[in-house]
């Protein structure tokens, strides 16, 4: 019987996994002849040492929270949505189409429409893999991988042949109209009389990400659909026995997942670039997998893991700047090791830790026997 | 389109199909044993980097090949450790391996060579040379068959021919040996194999190791056969196309060859023509690039013959609770 305390599962084991990943990353840094502790200090300072650093850290975190939530919602239904990259790219397309369709008078009007556009486009891109999984049993991992590549080809085609600004060489849309530009952190800090770095890309979408975390929590733990998603994730036969339709639940879980991934476009396309460029996602869809694994598929965990990865991405950029011997791809190494240790090799840490706590629980005298049988 | 163009396209089809073929056969061994492998891409990339690096250091392409295979096998070991020993999620392990390869190849490459993630240009014995098959010259006078033999079949590096032989070998191992029978059985029904007294873990490790070797050859061919050195992200999704070919071929060796040739042909046509006019409709290159993925989704959807994966694929085998 499992007597492991809850804090071990949600805090201790992820922490040990993270430390292992950082130790191995440190060994890589040591191998290429640099000091890992110094590298770590540069990364932390670069990520949170200035309002400029925070502006980038939180901007990246916003992307990762959306894609992390996307993976987490699908994980709750035991579906592995590896297609966040494609769904976010198509979501970005939705945002761009909304922004260039009308001469928006004010961002307050443009933002809700762009959010809806991004979510609908992202959900639509998840819909076919979801349908094939639900109705025809095609493995969702493979179909979503395939859809990532199809999305990237589609976007290149659209940007080169359809959406490109006439007369421009670059395969990107023209700049969005003034009324479709989101307030940056610099603008928002100005409203309350504070100052914030002007050049950082952090914008109002960060609050949208926080709202999405709350909404996902409410959805998963406070609604009927969320209950059905979790029930399906725990045991499909039990869910079916309880009258839950697997087809409907898989469809909803994946549509919500795709919609969340698509909403990343609001931050990256509307908030930062203010135009649609090729590869607006830049791997954030895959980072979402690491974020969801670290965050144990819980919105609060996803938020914290998103922040951590935001720091990693911003700090990694600064690290390359300060130490040219360590290239930016070091971020990918750390990310890979986090996924490996928290995801794939989880049992390597979990088994000994649980054995330890179970043994300790057995040694302790039992609490007063209850009158009713358990 | 004249005959020369067609022959040239077929020639590059065979070239481009070879890395796909090795990687798809790697996936075949792994997945037939019940271990899903979406880390083909990463293993290929790591092998490409280490083969090019070792070839650059030693000047020997064979040493390079060995280095590439070693790198790929190390990643396979990690995959085996995660998915067999620790019964972790095979898909997540594959994702981690892909990132590990994209990251380490550049980080280490930069530290070793300082060329922005590239390896030095390989020359002479550092690359696989093209070999002319016997009688290619004499036979080329024979109409149709002659030029086909001389242009399409002859003039490739030795790994292309090794790839074709490997298809036959894979079929023989899987369907005509005791090892192959057991390997397929652990992928369909591991309990039965366990009951028969054969270690499921050992069989799966063997399959994953074979996959590592084959992926290593695929990567080495990319960097030292097709190209003359490693460049960042040079596998460019080929591992996933190989995975697509594997599904397209429904996990069978000979159809894998044809699927890889088909996807190689699509790439060859896409490389040669920017736009293709098909019956008056302009087909953009991006569509050609996406076609392998679209075809795979169609096959997976089961509208054109259903693709049924090995039954125990993706599930760790737990002997008892």
Q: Which of B24, B36, B92, B115 to mutate to test the interface with A (most CBs of A within 10 A)?
A: B92
Q: B302 touching A, CB under 8 A?
A: yes
- Mean pLDDT over all residues of chain A? 91
Rounded-to-10 torsion of CA B200, B203, B206, B211 = -90
Cβ atoms of residues A205 and A266 within 8 Å: yes
The pLDDT tens digits for B267-286 are: 888 888 766 776 677 788 88
Q: Is the pLDDT of residue A236 over 60?
A: yes
The pLDDT tens digits for B1-32 are: 678 888 889 999 999 999 999 999 999 999 99
Contact B237 A149 (CB under 8 A): yes
| Cα gap A164→B211, rounded to integer Å | 43
- pLDDT band for position B308 (cuts 50, 70, 90): confident
Q: Is the pLDDT of residue A372 over 60?
A: no
Of the two residues B272 and A19, the one the predictor is more confident about is: A19
Cβ atoms of residues A27 and A295 within 8 Å: no
Residues B106-131 have a mean pLDDT of 88
Pick one of 1.10.287, 1.10.3470, 2.40.50, 1.10.10 as the CATH number of A60-323: 1.10.3470
The pLDDT tens digits for B184-229 are: 999 999 999 999 999 999 999 999 999 999 999 999 999 999 999 9
The pLDDT tens digits for A65-103 are: 999 999 999 999 999 999 999 999 999 999 999 999 888
Contact A343 B89 (CB under 8 A): yes
pLDDT value for A252: 97
| Cα gap B174→B64, rounded to integer Å | 29
| Cα gap B159→B65, rounded to integer Å | 10
- The secondary structure element, H or E, covering residue B284 is strand B281-284
User: What value of ipTM does the predicted structure carry?
Assistant: 0.90
Residues B259-264 have a mean pLDDT of 92
| Cα gap A284→A272, rounded to integer Å | 14
| Cα gap B271→A95, rounded to integer Å | 32
Of the two residues B285 and A16, the one the predictor is more confident about is: A16
Contact B286 A156 (CB under 8 A): yes
- CB-nearest to A157 from B86, B284, B296 is B284
- pLDDT band for position A374 (cuts 50, 70, 90): very low
- pLDDT band for position B314 (cuts 50, 70, 90): confident
Residues A308-336 have a mean pLDDT of 91
- CB-nearest to A327 from B117, B240, B293 is B117
Q: Is the pLDDT of residue A344 over 80?
A: yes
| Cα gap B94→B240, rounded to integer Å | 12
Give the start-to-end residue ranges of the domains of chain A. Answer: 1-34+325-361, 60-323
Nearest to B170 by CA among B24, B7, B3: B24
Contact B287 A80 (CB under 8 A): no
| Cα gap B54→B112, rounded to integer Å | 11
Q: Which residues touch A223 (CB under 8 Å, ≥6 apart)?
A: none
Question: Residue B176, class by beta-carbon neighbours within 10 Å (0-12 exposed, 13-18 middle, 19+ buried)?
Answer: exposed
Look at A29-38, A264-273, B143-152, B178-187 and tell me which has the smallest mean pLDDT.
B143-152
Q: Which residues touch B24 (CB under 8 Å, ≥6 apart)?
A: B242, B243, B245, B246, B249, B256, B259, B260
Per DSSP, the three-state class of B257 is helix
Token pair recorded at residue B319: 């002997």
Give the phi and the psi of residue B278 in degrees, each rounded to 5: -120, 110
Q: How many CB atoms lie within 10 A of CB A48?
A: 17
Q: A2 touching B, CB under 8 A?
A: no
Of the two residues B116 and B240, the one the predictor is more confident about is: B240
- CA of B66 to nearest chain A CA: how many angstroms apart? 22
CATH assignment, B3-126+142-301: 1.10.3470
- Cα torsion angle, A221, A136, B288, B260, sign: positive
* Pure H helices in chain A: 6-7, 13-31, 36-48, 51-76, 84-101, 107-136, 140-157, 185-191, 205-222, 224-234, 236-241, 246-265, 284-294, 299-322, 330-339, 346-363
Q: Which residues touch B195 (CB under 8 Å, ≥6 apart)?
A: none
Q: Is the pLDDT of residue A132 over 70?
A: yes
A286 contact residues in B (CB cutoff 8 A): 95, 99
| Cα gap B167→B21, rounded to integer Å | 8
Token pair recorded at residue B198: 């054969």
Give the start-to-end residue ranges of the domains of chain B. Answer: 3-126+142-301
Cβ atoms of residues A286 and A68 within 8 Å: no
- Mean pLDDT over all residues of chain B? 89
- pLDDT band for position A373 (cuts 50, 70, 90): very low
Residues B68-93 have a mean pLDDT of 94
- pLDDT band for position B139 (cuts 50, 70, 90): confident
The pLDDT tens digits for A179-205 are: 888 999 989 988 988 888 888 899 999
- pLDDT band for position A52 (cuts 50, 70, 90): very high
Contact B294 A344 (CB under 8 A): no
**Residue of chain A nearest B112, judged by CA positions:** A32
- CA of B74 to nearest chain A CA: how many angstroms apart? 14
Percent of chain B with pLDDT over 90: 59
Question: What radius of gyration, in Å, describes the C-alpha atoms of chain A?
Answer: 22
- pLDDT band for position A368 (cuts 50, 70, 90): low
A146 contact residues in B (CB cutoff 8 A): 240, 244, 293-294, 296-297, 300
Token pair recorded at residue A246: 């697997």
Nearest to A344 by CA among B35, B226, B63: B35
Q: Is the pLDDT of residue A339 over 80?
A: yes
Percent of chain A with pLDDT over 70: 96
Q: How many CB atoms lie within 10 A of CB A239?
A: 21
Contact A147 B289 (CB under 8 A): no
Residues A345-370 have a mean pLDDT of 79
pLDDT value for B108: 93
What DSSP state is assigned to residue B282? Answer: E
pLDDT value for B304: 63
CA angle, residues A149, B265, A138, in degrees to nearest 5: 40
């Amino acid at each position: 019987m499992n007597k492991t305390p809850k804090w071990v599962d949600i805090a201790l084991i992820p922490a040990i996994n993270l430390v292992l990943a950082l130790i191995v990353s440190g060994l890589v840094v040591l191998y290429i002849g640099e000091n890992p502790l110094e590298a770590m200090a540069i990364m932390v300072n670069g990520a949170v040492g200035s309002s400029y650093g925070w502006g980038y850290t939180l901007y990246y975190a916003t992307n990762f929270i959306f894609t992390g939530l996307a993976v987490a919602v699908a994980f709750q239904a035991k579906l592995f949505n590896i297609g966040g990259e494609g769904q976010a790219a198509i979501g970005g397309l939705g945002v761009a189409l909304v922004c260039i369709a009308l001469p928006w008078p004010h961002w307050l009007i443009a933002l809700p429409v762009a959010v809806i556009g991004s979510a609908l486009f992202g959900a639509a891109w998840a819909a076919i893999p979801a349908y094939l999984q639900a109705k025809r049993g095609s493995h969702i991992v493979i179909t979503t991988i395939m859809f990532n590549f199809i999305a990237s080809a589609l976007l290149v085609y659209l940007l080169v042949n359809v959406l490109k600004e006439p007369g421009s060489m670059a395969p990107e849309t023209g700049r969005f109209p003034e009324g479709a530009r989101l307030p940056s952190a610099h603008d928002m800090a100005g409203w309350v009389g504070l100052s914030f770095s002007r050049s950082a890309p952090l914008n109002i979408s960060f609050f949208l990400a926080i709202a999405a975390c709350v909404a996902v929590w409410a959805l998963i733990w406070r609604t009927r659909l969320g209950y059905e998603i979790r029930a399906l994730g725990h045991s499909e036969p039990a869910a079916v026995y309880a009258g839950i339709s697997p087809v409907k639940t898989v469809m909803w879980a994946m549509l919500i997942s795709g919609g969340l991934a698509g909403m990343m476009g609001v931050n990256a396309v509307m908030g930062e670039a203010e135009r649609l460029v090729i590869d607006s996602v830049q791997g954030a869809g895959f980072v979402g997998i690491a974020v969801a694994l670290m965050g144990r598929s819980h919105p609060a965990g996803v938020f914290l893991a998103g922040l951590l990865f935001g720091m990693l991405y911003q700090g990694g950029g600064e690290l390359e700047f300060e130490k040219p011997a360590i290239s930016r791809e070091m971020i990918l190494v750390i990310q890979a090791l986090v996924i490996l240790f928290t995801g794939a090799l989880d049992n390597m840490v979990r088994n000994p830790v649980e054995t330890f706590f179970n043994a300790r629980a057995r040694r302790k005298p039992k609490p007063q026997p209850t009158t009713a049988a358990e | 389109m004249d005959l020369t163009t067609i022959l040239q396209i077929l020639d590059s089809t065979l070239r481009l199909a070879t890395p796909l073929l090795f990687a798809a056969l790697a996936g075949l061994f792994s997945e037939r044993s019940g271990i899903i492998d979406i880390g083909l891409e990463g293993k290929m990339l790591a092998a490409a980097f280490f083969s090019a690096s070792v070839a650059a250091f030693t000047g020997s392409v064979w040493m390079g090949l060995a280095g590439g295979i070693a790198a790929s096998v190390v990643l396979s070991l990690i995959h085996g450790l995660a998915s067999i020993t620790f019964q972790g999620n095979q898909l997540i392990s594959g994702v981690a391996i892909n990132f590990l390869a994209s990251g380490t190849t550049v980080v280490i490459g930069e530290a070793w060579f300082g060329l922005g993630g590239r390896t030095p240009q390989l020359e002479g014995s550092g690359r696989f040379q093209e070999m002319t098959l016997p009688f290619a010259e004499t036979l080329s006078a024979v109409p149709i068959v002659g030029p086909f033999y001389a242009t399409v079949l002859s003039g490739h590096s030795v790994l292309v021919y090794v790839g074709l032989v490997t298809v036959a070998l894979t079929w023989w191992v899987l369907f005509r040996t005791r090892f192959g029978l057991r390997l397929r059985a652990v992928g369909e029904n591991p309990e039965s194999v366990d009951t028969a007294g054969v270690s499921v873990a050992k069989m799966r490790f063997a399959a994953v190791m074979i996959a590592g070797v084959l992926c290593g050859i695929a990567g080495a061919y990319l960097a030292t056969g097709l190209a003359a050195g490693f460049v960042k992200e040079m596998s460019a999704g080929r591992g996933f196309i190989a995975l697509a070919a594997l599904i397209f071929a429904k996990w069978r060796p000979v159809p894998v060859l044809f699927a890889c040739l088909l996807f190689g042909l699509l790439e060859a046509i896409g490389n040669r023509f920017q736009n293709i006019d098909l019956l008056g409709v302009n087909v953009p290159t991006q569509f050609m690039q996406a076609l392998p993925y679209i075809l795979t989704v169609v096959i997976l959807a089961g509208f054109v013959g259903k693709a049924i994966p090995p039954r125990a694929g993706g599930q760790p085998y737990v002997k008892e609770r």
